[in-house]
Every structure is written in C-alpha cells, then in structure tokens.
Amino acid sequence: IEKVVRQARAAFNSGRSRSLEFRIQQLKALERMVKEKEKEILAALHADLHKSGRTEILSVLGELNLAMEKLPSWAAPQHLKKNLLTMRDEVFINFEPLGVVLIIGAWNYPFALVMHPLIRPCCVCPVGNAAVVKPSEVSENTAQLVADLLPQYLDRELYPVVTGGAPETTELLTQRFDHILYTGNSGVGKIVMAAAAKHLTPVTLELGGKSPCYIDKDCDLAVACRRITWGKYMNCGQTCIAPDYILCDPSIQSQVVENIKATLLEFYGEDVKSSPDYERIVNKRHFQRVVGLLEGQKIAHGGESDEASCFIAPTILTDVSPDSKVMEEEIFGPVLPIVTVKSVEEAIEFINRREKPLALYVFSNNKKLIRRVISETSSGGMTANDVLMHMVVPDLPFGGVGHSGMGAYHGRCSFETFSPRRTCLIRDLKLDALNKIRYPPVSQEKMDVAKFILLKHCSGCRVGRFLSALLGAVKAVMAK
Amino acid sequence: METDSVFLQPAGSGAGRAPEGDGGKGSVDGVAMSGNPYAGLVSHLRASWLSGKTRPMEYRVAQLEALGRFLDEKKQAVLEATAADMGKPPFEVELSETLLCKNELRETLNNLSHWMKDKHVDRPLATRLDSAFIRKEPYGVVLIIAPWNYPIYLILGPLIGAIAAGNCVIIKPSEISKNTERLVAEVLPCYLDKDCFAVVTGGVQETTRLLENKFDYIFYTGSPPVGRIVMTAAAKHLTPVTLELGGKNPCYVSDTCDIPNVARRVVWGRFFNAGQTCIAPDYLLCSLEMQGKLLPALREAITEFYGPNPQESPDFGRIVGDKQFQRVRKLLCSGRVAIGGQTDEAERYIAPTVLVDVQPSDPVMQEEIFGPILPIVVVANMDEAIDFINSRERPLAIYAFSSSDKVVNQVLERTSSGGFCGNDTLMHVTLTSLPFGGIGNSGLGMYHGKFTFDTFSHCRGCLKRGMGREPLNAPRYPPYSQKKFGIIQATSKVTRKDDCTLL
C-alpha cells in the first residue's frame, strides 16, 4: 500500500494531471468505460444488492457530462477587486490541485459512491489531483469490478484502486494524503478524522444519521405517502438520505399507514419478494441488525424476513417510543417507525434534541410552517413536500453537518474544497513611492495617509476618495 | 505563532484560583477539577443558540457594532497592552490590528444582508418548477483559539465572521500575551451579549479541558503541532475545523530586480512585529552574486527604517516572552551573522539580523523562525530555488521578486502555498476580498471578509416542492420499465454544447 501511495504522489508531482486536456481525456475515458461496460456494472450491482443499478449509471453519466462542460470555466483563475494601494497590481485567485486524495467508498451505492468523488467537479479528475480509490469490501462484486476496470481506462499510476477490508483501510489511513473523502457512518468517520489529524489532512465526511420526516395534518396525505414510500424503500432503505422515521399527529397515523400500504402494493405488487424492483439487504450482518430493531415493536405492516436471501419486507412500525432501539441508530433498512407528536413545536423540539441529520423532510400545504421548520432546525440538506430530491439539483451542496458529516460536494461549492484557492498578488517592482507610507520611521502624517488609503468606508463618493487618497499619497512622498 | 508545542508551557493564570462562576458570567477562569469545568458554560451558550437569539440580522449587527465601539473606545488600552506584551510600535498596532479589524467590520456590516440571503440555484428539468436554494446557517457554539502575535486581530477577525454567521462564541485568547489576554477577558464581554459570547482564559491544561467539550466549529490559529492536537480533539465530536498554521515562507530573489526596492520590501515584511508574523518571509533564496548585492541594500534599508541602533527605535518591536526569546536567540548560531546579531535579554531585544553561509541542515532552517532573523540560502538559479521550495512542506506564503514577469509566474505555477505575493511581502492579506489560509502543513480552511462568514456557516441545500403535479413524478416509481427510465434520463440530463437537442 505504501508503494501505491508513493507512486500516486510521484505521478502527481510529475505534473501531468495538471493540464486541462489530460483531465478531459480521463473524463472521456471514464465515460467510455461506463458506456462500454454497462452490462458488467449492472451485473455486479445486482449481485451485491439485487438492484437494477440503472439510476446509478445515469447519475454517473450526468456528472461526467457536467464536469466536461464546466471544467474550463471552473478551473480559470478568478480576478478580483483591488484596493487603492494595489490599484496597479494583478490580483487573482488561483485554483490549485491538492495532491493525492483518498476516496473511501460505501457499499450502498457502490458504483456511484466511488465514481462521483472521482469525477465530481470538485474532486479528482477535473482538478488535477491523483486519487487512491478504496471501494467498500461489503459490496464485493462491485469492488472487484472497479479494481478491474479503472486501470484499463484511466492512468494507472494516478488513480490506483486498493481493495480489502478493515486492515487494508487502517494501513491506508496511516499514509499521508492531501484530502480524504469518506462516505460511511459516524463511528468510522471519527476514526478517519483522527487519522487525518496526524497529517493535518483536510477531510470530507459524508456520514449519516436519522433523517426525520414530519407530516403535517394539513397536506395531501396520499401524495405525501407515495413520495415517502418511494424514498424510504428504494434500495431496500439503504440510502443515507432516506426518510428514517416519521413524525406526525396521532390522529393521522393510521391514515399514513394505509396510504403507505396502498403505495407499496402499487410499487411492488402482492408478493414483494418476487418483485424485480425490490432490493435486498447487503449482507447477513446488516440483515440481523435490522431485524433486531423490530423486537418489541408494534408492526402495522410487513415484518416478514428471509435470512437466506437477506430479504426484509417493507415494514411500518406505529406508536414507536423515542427511547426504543429503532430510534437510536440510523436504520438503513426497510423499516419505517412512526413517532407521534402533538404539534410542529413538539416535532421541532424532538428533532433538535437529537444529532443533526443528513436530511430533513417536511410535508405540508402551509408555507409558513415549512419556513418555520427550515429556520428552526438544522440539517445537511432538506426537501419540502418530497424526499431525496435535493440531491438531484447539481448546484445544491450535498453534505452533512455535525454528526452527519462535514464538507460538501456537488457543483461549484465543492470544486473549491478539492482545489484549494491560492491568493495571488503580483505587484510592480519599480514604483516604490506609495510604499514609503508604510515604512518606518513613522510619522503622524504617514499614519493618516495609510489609514485613509487602507481603511474601508461605509459609503462615500468613490472618485472623491480616490482623489483625496492620491493627493495624500503624493503629499507624503513629497514630504519625504 | 509558537513553533514548539504550547503543551510544554506551564499552566497559565488560572492555576490555584477557584473558578469565578458559571456560564452566566463573561469570563471564567478554569481550574482542573473532576467533571469538565467548562461544561456548564458550553451548555449555557448552546441553550442560547437553540433559543434562536443570534439568528436575526438586527441582533448580529448590534453585536458587531458593539465590537466597533470596543475598538474605538479601548484603542488606548489596546496600544498599551500590546506594547507591554511585545513592545509593539503604535503604528504597527494601528495598521495590523485596529485597521484590519475595522476593515473586516465594515466589509461585514456593508454586506451582511446580502451574505445572509438564500442563494437560489439553477435546476434541472425535473425540478424546474420548484424552489431550490442554499441557506446559510450558523453551526451553533464555536470556539476560537487565538495566538499571541496579533492578539486583537486574530481574535476579532474570526469573531466578526462567527457573529455575522449567527453563532455563539467562546474565545480563548493566548496566555502568552498576558496583558492583551487580560484586556480581552475583562473588557470585551462588557460589549457583547454575555449569554452568547464568553472569554475563557488559561494555559495548556485549561485549553485541553476546554477541547473535551463538544463544539460545533473550532477555529484555531497557531502552530502545526498544536493544530494536530486540536484536530484530534475535534475528531472525537466530528467537529469541523479551520486551522491557520504556519511554516517557513520562502522568498526568492532573482538576479534581475530593482535591488533597493526589494531590500526595503523584504526588510519591512521580515522585521514587522520583530519577525513574529505567520506570513513573514522566513528565509531568502538567491544566487551568490545577488547575495553580494543585496547585503548592502538590506543594511541600508534597516538603517533607513530603524536608525543606526534599532534598539532605540520606537518602531521596532520585542520578542513576546523569555522562552521565545531563548528559542530565537539560539538560531543565531547558524551560518554567519552578516548584519545585526545583537541581543539584550532584559528587553527581549534581538536586532534585525541577516545570516549568510546558511546550510539547509542548519537549525535556523529546521523550524519557523518567528523572530527578526533572515537567513540567506544560496541557490544557483530559479530552478534550484523551486526544487528547494518543493522539497519542503507547503508554506503559508511564497514570495518571489523579479523584474521579469516570466520568473514570477514560473515560481507561482511550479510551487504550491497558501498565498503568493510577487514583488512584495505581506500585502496579499490586506485585501478583504481575498481568502487567506494555508495548505498541507500550513493549515486547513480559509477566511477574511466573506470567507470568514462562509467558514462559520453551514451551506444547507434546500428544495421546496409542491404537492401537486404528482403525475410528473410517475416515471420514478416502481414498477420500473425501460420507458420510464427513458423519461428520467431525458429530464435529468445536462446537455453538452455539442449535443443536438430537440426542444
């Protein structure tokens, strides 16, 4: 592993990843890879999670498109306002490549969560960084596929893939990287950040949490429940921004259950297990974990499971107690608890008493209520009257806050994370007259002129200020 | 900044005194005792934050205006405290502490309403009819740990942004600049809302206990070793951090340049605040020939600025403490003293000094100098200089002097650093529109002006949809089909310029 990292760093230092043409070429190669190997990718995803995977591929292709289009404009240095003292100078912000980035992928969207950080117009290719990719060993088929495919299409030294489990990841984390992007859970997030601290490596942590979903009495329940059902049970509940639990008034609880049941029938038919569109839990360990959460709960719908195929039926729990196990950890499975609250105040208080979630959802016809929920809570991101969709808007930053993560990516916001900004000021070497104001020995006059030129003013005529400053400067120079 | 770990310092002023009160007071002296002594303070501030008090713009503006009044009314006190701490000349205080703070305040007050606004973004076809925006939200309770070299600016700079972003703040000034620490602890809380802002004093032990608490953001300015400690403590609570650290800032002088101007600008940048500036040019790289020409020019510039005996100049500062003085004085043994070299322990005075015949392995080249010593390392040419710079940790700033634009641009393009200034020193940080921060060992994150506001704000992606138009959502629901997939593909596609679209 040390050799792999060293090679990546040497490749980065060679400077070949800096050129725009090189980066676009790599992006194009990735696009070819996704298109040519679509069948293999879909097969691996199906083997790992019994999923169709087409949306994952779609999102990756979309990202590639965006990157290739926007890269030239995003990578250009930014020229800025100057102050009076630097009028004659060149002032700009350069976007620089960072170095070697470590990308640790997750298993729930195993292809996308490795590809997006590679492509994302913030991360690797577009900025000119090198990357060591570590796909999750839990989704073993996709991990192996990524390890096989990437070297065939991309520069092998710049973008090596490292496979393995906890021991390999631990060893990787002892190496020095210039940024670490980790997608996973908070527990491991802390370990990653502590390891990064040893090298003062910045991190982006895409973690998780319990994303609450508040349903107001005043809303179209049928529509709300359909949307929630879609977001909750997609990928068998294994989505970091899935609505984790519902908060609603006790009077609408049974209606919510009925609506969700009806939608489930519509989506997956009578026999969910035989629906080609319903996924499975990724492995036995997680299967047992999720099934364990059902203990002692009131199951209003579902609850069936089959360990051999890691199947858990779409399940709804009612009258769930806030202290129960299912309300302690992120569920990451097709189990939807409903906790009753008497008012939106109680819901807000409930949400704020807990760790900040990755996403927050609120369903209501009342715009004021929605505004209030947004203002009085905090979360990584949120969608009102739907679920998951804020992730679809490329210019909205996607990331957590507090326990749900730090740093963000998507769109321009994140381009700046992975390509640090370097402030550049290039001055004229010849004219030193104006500089004399700042040199000792100091006089009251110099002080006054310096203050006048450097101090910002709340308002005032720009031309007048400029002229006075110039006069003052001339005066100071002449006095010298 | 301290280059040796603050950890090695004896416990600060808090030792032996009973804690003065709970979180309700503005200033709390911590003492190591069972149970975290700051837990009460932190939860009090968190409760204030949760109450929503700091959110309205009017509140933030009021607090910021109070900071402005502090700067105006306590100007004399600030001058006296910084003079007592490290002999800071009043001109330097005005320029590098007061003035910079005032600029930050004005920039923030002028633009706050604009910065706070939700930023609406472009939407793909699938969400075209919805409202998508980025909401800037405060993190909650933030901790600002400041160093001693620009004790007012390096507290107020981040503080202004933290308040502007709507956070509650605990400020931890450096115990090394004792007089300024006392000023900040006793006077600053009187200007601010005591329920939301507090100052904590103390040394290493107190800071360690403080860091055990959960904060929602930590902003640390100081040395890389302590930066690691801060980030490790932050990792326990998954607290995001900004670390403004340091390093050895190289200054390359090419063979073609205006020598007197170079000398003046380098001398100014190096000996400002007696060299105790994180972005000061730490060492010079030039050819042997250039060294020969530079030395008399440097000597002349020093005399021009500080007179024949800098110890008598009111415009030259002192080293902040005895320990730091000893550390810097030891570095004089490297190479040979070409200019200066005199010291006076009683005053903690070290003369503006230039060292020559310095080897890369000498002690003066192993740590950030943070004192009025300028070593010159001889290199054959620009390429060698660039290689030299790239073989070391990425610094906070890189300086390059040349009459040739090409040379300056080459150095810029082939190196990496937090910031860069061609043909001058320090000036790139005076513009509030430019971000200031390090990279690699010199730091993480950035601030100044709007960037400070952004540092202390969480960008929350928000999407507001309507309940109607449900049929438009139909393609995304199971049971899946190729037809449905085709529609999704079409509505979420970002078209490339060379794609042909039929619309």
Interchain contact, A406 vs B238, CB within 8 Å: yes
β-pairing, B373-378 with B336-339?
Answer: unpaired
The overall longest dimension of chain A from CA atoms, in Å, is 93
Q: How far is CA A169 from CA A136, A174, B136, in A?
A: 10, 9, 34
3-state SS assignment for residue A370: helix
Give yes or no: residues A74 and A197 share one domain. Answer: yes
Catalytic (active-site) positions of B:
244, 278
Chain B hits for A441, Cβ within 8 Å: 305-307, 313-315
Question: Residue B389 is inside which H or E element, if any?
Answer: helix B382-390
Interchain contact, B494 vs A66, CB within 8 Å: yes
pLDDT value at residue A459: 35
Of residues B285, B244, B270, B229, the one with CA closest to residue B353: B270
DSSP letter at A442 equals P
Give yes or no: residues A417 and A332 share one domain. Answer: no
Judged by average pLDDT, the poorest of A118-132, A149-163, B1-15, B475-489 is B1-15
Angle (CA) A103 A109 A115, round 5°:
45
Give yes or no: residues A109 and A137 share one domain. Answer: yes
What ipTM describes this predicted complex?
0.89
Of residues B100, B208, B237, the one with CA closest to residue B158: B100
Phi, psi of A31 (to 5 degrees): -65, -40
- Orientation angle between helical segments B224-235 and B204-212, nearest 10 degrees: 30
Q: Looking at residues A109-123, what average pLDDT do you find?
A: 76
- Contact call for residues B368 and B275 (beta carbons, < 8 A): no
Q: Which amino acid, A99?
A: G
pTM reported for the whole predicted model: 0.90
The token pair that represents B81 in the structure block: 């405290």
B478 touches chain A (CB under 8 A): yes
Query: Which CATH number does the domain housing residue A382 bear?
Result: 3.40.309.10
A301 touches chain B (CB under 8 A): no
Q: With respect to residue A405, please indicate whether it lies within any of the assigned structural domains.
A: no
**Partner residue facing A429 (CB), from B224, B228, B261:** B261
Query: Which CATH number does the domain housing residue A55 bear?
Result: 3.40.605.10
Interchain contact, A429 vs B257, CB within 8 Å: yes
Interchain contact, A425 vs B467, CB within 8 Å: no
Q: With respect to residue A218, please indicate whether it lies within any of the assigned structural domains.
A: yes
Give yes or no: residues A346 and A238 share one domain. Answer: yes
Interchain contact, B106 vs A457, CB within 8 Å: yes
Of residues A258, A211, A201, the one with CA closest to residue A231: A211
Q: What is the mean pLDDT of each run of 10 residues along chain B (503 residues)?
A: 32 35 38 72 95 95 96 94 91 88 94 95 79 94 96 96 97 95 95 96 95 97 96 97 96 95 95 95 96 96 95 93 95 95 95 96 95 97 95 96 94 93 91 87 93 94 89 85 81 51 35
Q: How far is CA B131 from CA A216, A414, B368, B425, B490, in A?
A: 20, 21, 50, 46, 21
- Contact call for residues A259 and A362 (beta carbons, < 8 A): no
Of residues A24, A82, A98, A77, the one with CA closest to residue B409: A77
Chain B hits for A75, Cβ within 8 Å: none
Residue A73 has pLDDT above 80, yes or no: no
- Contact call for residues A416 and B142 (beta carbons, < 8 A): no
B444 touches chain A (CB under 8 A): yes
Q: With respect to residue A427, please indicate whether it lies within any of the assigned structural domains.
A: no
pLDDT value at residue A394: 79
Of residues B19, B22, B20, B14, the one with CA closest to residue B39: B22
Q: How far apart are CA B370 and CA B281, in angstroms?
A: 10
Q: With respect to residue A235, please indicate whether it lies within any of the assigned structural domains.
A: yes
Give me chain A's average pLDDT, please: 86
Interchain contact, A441 vs B417, CB within 8 Å: no
Of residues B223, B326, B310, B248, the one with CA closest to residue B274: B310
Interchain contact, B264 vs A275, CB within 8 Å: no
Q: Give me the domain span that covers residue A1.
A: 1-207+410-422
Q: Looking at residues A33-40, what average pLDDT do you find?
A: 89
Give yes or no: residues A308 and A371 share one domain. Answer: yes
Q: Looking at residues A316-339, what average pLDDT do you find?
A: 95
Q: With respect to residue A192, please indicate whether it lies within any of the assigned structural domains.
A: yes
Residue A192 has pLDDT above 80, yes or no: yes
Q: Looking at residues A111-134, what average pLDDT do you find?
A: 75
Torsion of CA A140, A143, A145, A149, to 10 degrees: -170
pLDDT value at residue A475: 57
Number of CB pairs, chain A paired with chain B, less than 8 A apart: 321
What tens digit of pLDDT does each residue of A395-426 get? 888 899 999 999 887 655 566 677 788 889 88
Q: With respect to residue A428, please indicate whether it lies within any of the assigned structural domains.
A: no
Give yes or no: residues A217 and A201 share one domain. Answer: no
**Partner residue facing B465 (CB), from A96, A383, A441:** A383
pLDDT value at residue A468: 54
Q: With respect to residue A45, please indicate whether it lies within any of the assigned structural domains.
A: yes
Give yes or no: residues A418 and A301 share one domain. Answer: no
B432 touches chain A (CB under 8 A): yes
Give yes or no: residues A216 and A194 share one domain. Answer: no
Give yes or no: residues A46 and A116 share one domain. Answer: yes
Chain B hits for A450, Cβ within 8 Å: 94-95, 99
Torsion of CA A431, A432, A433, A439, to 10 degrees: 170
Sign of CA dihedral A349, A351, A354, A356: negative
Query: Which residue has better confidence, A128 or B89?
Result: B89
Interchain contact, B467 vs A405, CB within 8 Å: no
Residues whose CB falls within 8 Å of the CB of residue B346, separated by 6 or more in sequence, listed in order: none
Q: How far apart are CA A361 and CA A357, in angstroms?
A: 10
User: Which residue on chain B is closest to A52 by alpha carbon?
Assistant: B480
B404 touches chain A (CB under 8 A): no
Find tokens 């290199």 and name the residue: B379
**Partner residue facing A275 (CB), from B216, B304, B479:** B479
A9 touches chain B (CB under 8 A): no
Q: Which amino acid, A101?
A: V
Q: How far apart are CA A2 and CA A6, in angstroms?
A: 6
Give yes or no: residues A126 and A216 share one domain. Answer: no
- Contact call for residues B71 and B101 (beta carbons, < 8 A): yes
Beta bridge partners of A179: A101
Judged by average pLDDT, the poorest of A153-157, A191-195, B276-280 is A153-157
Q: With respect to residue A403, please indicate whether it lies within any of the assigned structural domains.
A: no
Catalytic (active-site) positions of A:
206, 240
Domain count, chain A: 3
Q: Which amino acid, A115?
A: M
Q: How far apart are CA B297 and CA B23, in angstroms?
A: 56
pLDDT value at residue A370: 95
Phi, psi of B136 (to 5 degrees): -90, 120
Count other C-beta atoms under 10 Å from residue A375's C-beta: 13
Query: A65 pLDDT band (50/70/90 cuts)?
Result: confident
Query: Which residue has better confidence, A73 or A285?
Result: A285
How many angstroms away from the CA of B305 is the closest CA of chain A?
5
- Contact call for residues B345 and B315 (beta carbons, < 8 A): no
Query: A471 pLDDT band (50/70/90 cuts)?
Result: low
The token pair that represents A34 in the structure block: 């996704």
β-pairing, B217-221 with B141-145?
Answer: parallel
Percent of residues, chain A, with pLDDT higher than 90: 52
Give yes or no: residues A254 and A142 share one domain. Answer: no
Burial (CB < 10 A; 0-12, 13-18, 19+), residue B43, is middle
Q: How far apart are CA A62 and CA A218, in angstroms?
A: 36
Beta strands in A367-479 (DSSP E): 381-384, 398-399, 405-406, 408-409, 421-426
User: In what side-by-side order are the strands of the sheet with A203-206?
Assistant: A130-134, A100-104, A179-183, A203-206, A405-406
Chain B hits for A267, Cβ within 8 Å: 477-479
pLDDT value at residue B7: 29
Give yes or no: residues A473 and A366 share one domain. Answer: no
Chain B hits for A231, Cβ within 8 Å: none
Residues whose CB falls within 8 Å of the CB of residue A135, separated by 6 or more in sequence, listed in order: A105, A110, A114, A142, A143, A146, A147, A161, A163
Of residues A327, A328, A332, the one with CA closest to residue A317: A327
